[in-house]
Amino acid sequence: MTGIDYRREWHLIQQTEKSLKAHVQQRLKELVEKYPDVPMPDVLRNGWTDGMSTYGMIGCIERIEAWSAEQQKVEQLTIDKIYEELPSEMKETLKKLGD
């Protein structure tokens, strides 16, 4: 690779990073608006994210998503669990279909 190639690659990386930061900021803003009860610093409620690193904003997003999941008490069902809860007639029908 030449110096020009490295410069182009560096420019693409910077553009990608800038785009990612914009997407992360938008997602954080959406979550803050969607979950006004989430415990967070007032600076996030006031929309101040320009000074935050992208990594820091991603951490905030992860904490908000974890808080939301905890509040909703979502239980991910597996096929085995769903199958166990089916009436016996449906289990027999599924077994016949599988044969």
78 — pLDDT class (breaks 50, 70, 90) = low
- What's the confidence (pLDDT) of residue 37? 85
- What's the confidence (pLDDT) of residue 80? 66
Spell out a b/e string for 27-48, using b for 16 or more CB atoms within 10 Å of the CB, else e.
bbeebbeeeeebebeeebeeee
- What's the confidence (pLDDT) of residue 6? 95
Residue ranges covered by each domain of the chain: 3-74
Q: What would the pLDDT profile of 23-38 be if each residue is shown by its tens digit? A: 999 999 899 888 888 8
Q: How far is 18 from 56, CA to CA, in rounded Å? A: 15
Query: Whats the size of the chain, residue-wise?
Result: 99
